[in-house]
Chains A and B, each alone.
Chain A
Amino acid sequence: MARTIHLQSGEVERAVVVEETGGGFVVRVGEHVFAIAARGGEGGRLDLEVDGRRLRAYAVRQGAQTQVALDGETWRLERTDPRRRRTGRAEASGSLQAAMPGRVLDVLVAPGAAVTRGDTLVLLEAMKMELRIQAPADGQVARVLVTPGAVVERGQVLVELE
């Protein structure tokens, strides 16, 4: 019985078809067909034989994300639901939060300002380092909730975009 799993990494999306055969699997990723024998071990270990080549991979799942360690590289793949339509161009809306406790060094935008993706909005100092809080996409500043010198907690909202 074949099962189709949709996975995404950044802009790349793949429908992966996994079919169980006598003692192994045939896995199709687009045009690429792999014959894989697999055994799972502890801690996400997967001992594989892929088209005759043996390799040890690790895969752990965390919510919708599966992380794969393979040949010394680590990959993060998100399971997607193809029935759900993908949203269009990314729009910045919602709030930007402090990823860790720190102190606000500077606020570089004012309410109403138009920002483009990558613009630095707030400078934070945390763990003796300067962190730039950047716009994740184009948008407009709705509210600025901190001032220079303020001490912020993890998760505290710094700027709201719309």
Chain B
Amino acid sequence: MFRKILIANRGEIAVRIIRACQEMGIATVAVYSDADAGALHVALADEAVRIGPPPPRDSYLCADCILEAARARGCDAIHPGYGFLAENADFADAVTAAGLTFIGPSGAAMRVMGSKTSARAAMQAAGVPVVPGYQASQTDADLVAAAGELGYPVLVKATAGGGGKGMRVVADPGDLPAALASARREAANAFGDDRIYLEKRILHPHHIEFQVFGDAHGNAVHLFERECSVQRRHQKIVEESPSPLLDDALRRRMGEAAVAAVKAVGYTNAGTLEFLVEGLSGAIDGMLSFYFLEMNTRLQVEHPVTEAVTGIDLVKLQIRVAAGEPIPFTQADIRQRGHAIECRIYAEDPANGFLPAIGSVLAAVEPVGPGVRVDAGVTSGDTVTLHYDPMIAKLIVLGEGRADAIGKMLWALRHYVILGDVVTNIPFLRDVLAHPRFAAGDTTTDFVDECFAAWQPAAFTPPDLAFAVAALAEVLSAGSGVAASDLDATGDPTSPWQQANSFRMGTGAR
């Protein structure tokens, strides 16, 4: 087992990994930019190394700086977390070449799965369904015939494409020839390559991903799914497991496909296969179809949801597998128990286009209770800076069933207090969780856009009591607190304050 691990990340995920290392008796080295000198992950690690100025390219993305820190501090492994260098195949190779262990897949596996086209080819070879498409011919006649077989609407895409250029959605067969012509023109102008191909348009899909794990001994398992369809700006904000869409048969088919994919590419360590699943509107004879979308060759932000329902610590498993140990359980040992939901708490203003609303956090009080977990990278006294992702924390609950988990999450969101410069998305998340479509599990990827496009907080005007509390806080802070500490003083037995005599503050168990 490793003696000392460098964590090449920041924020809540660095904190998460440090805690796993501490539980395993492994020493930790944090790295930080100048913007993070006082950050939580720096305070919690055994050692900390400054690696550069705030911009990520000069610090958390600086592979050489991080390798140098690892060598200087005698580390034998590096955990990349997610984001930054986590899916950088060259970095993974460089770590290995330096004689250290990269806690993740090999650079080679990253290269195969990191490119959309090679991943698509690898998945097809492994028998995993990909979004149906046609790329065998460039003639209009062949393309029109293929579109008819795929079924409308179809997507016309540029072979050399990216960023939506050369892409057309065609709903009516009569529009296809014109769309082919204009897509070719646009592709030729944008990429100097007018080749196009067709892909079936998946309508109102669910985004469902499978957590997978492979080890160096040829074992591969999946740890069930996460439903991640609640997204804004194509970024997940609420994740859950199990998915309310899947039945046991589809779950089994998708899980088997995921494991086949891992085995086919000899993938090791933690990874996630993302699928699009057609909603019930796309079901044929009640059968739902699923399609491989892409693979994330790293730990995911939303991994705690899987940890909650399986009881397996994914970070510790990553470390053990990277150290050469076999996965200590078989597929049959893994069970989904209860229902877990994660909400991502961001310093952003949902009423203002989800723009970051960053600054200091004067007071942060996290909810605590049975089945409530908070993975926070920011706490009281910290600052959310403009340099990095404005996520404050992840709030995860585990309930007996889905309704119980929703109730628990609504309670936890109500009891997460964050005061300061930051504006948070907590009121928005509460409204999402309370929405009838969420309750029904009808959360396709267009759910937020369709139902919350013009979202505003329900209440604009503070209640009179909020004015009273603000004024009281001012009086209490100005008046040395004597009045407050007199709370328990007995007085006139007829006084309305008599009832307060038995009021003992701060003694209740939390």
Contact = CB atoms under 8 A, between A and B. Distances in A.
Interface in A111-135: 126-127, 129, 131-132
B298 to A, nearest CB: 19
Contact of B485 (A3, A39, A52, A71): A39
B471 A43 contact: no
Contacts of A24: 487, 496-497, 500
A101 to B, nearest CB: 7
B264 to A, nearest CB: 33
Given A5-B474, A37-B500, A77 B467 contact: yes
A37 B487 contact: yes
Interface in B58-77: none
A101 B386 contact: yes
B414 A25 contact: no
A58 B468 contact: no
B506 A127 contact: no
Contacts of A43: 363, 365, 380
Interface residues of B, number: 61
Contact of B466 (A30, A39, A77, A101): A77
A146 interface: no
Interface string B417-448: 11111001011001000000000000000000
B488 to A, nearest CB: 8
Nearest to B360: A62
B58 to A, nearest CB: 14
B489 interface: yes
Contacts, number: 187
A145 interface: no
B330 interface: no
A74 B430 CA distance: 13
B460 A10 contact: yes
B386 A36 contact: no
Interface string A54-71: 100111111000111111
A23 interface: yes
B499 A49 contact: yes
B362 to A, nearest CB: 5
Interface in A10-34: 10, 12, 14, 16, 18, 20-25, 27, 29-30, 32, 34
Main SS class of interface, A: strand
Interface residues of A, number: 63
Given A18-B475, A60-B363, A100 B464 contact: no
Contacts of B491: 22-23
Interface of A: 3, 5, 7, 9-10, 12, 14, 16, 18, 20-25, 27, 29-30, 32, 34-41, 43-50, 52, 54, 57-62, 66-75, 77, 79, 100-101, 126-127, 129, 131-132, 154
Given A61-B473, A73-B459, 20 more contacts: A5-B470, A14-B467, A20-B475, A22-B489, A27-B468, A36-B468, A36-B472, A37-B497, A37-B500, A44-B363, A54-B503, A60-B363, A62-B362, A62-B420, A68-B462, A68-B466, A69-B419, A72-B414, A73-B462, A75-B462
18 contacts: A5-B470, A21-B495, A23-B491, A30-B464, A34-B465, A34-B468, A39-B503, A41-B505, A41-B506, A46-B469, A49-B500, A60-B419, A66-B470, A73-B459, A75-B470, A77-B462, A100-B358, A126-B386
> 7 closest pairs, A vs B, by CB?
A72-B414, A59-B473, A16-B471, A37-B500, A22-B491, A29-B464, A75-B462
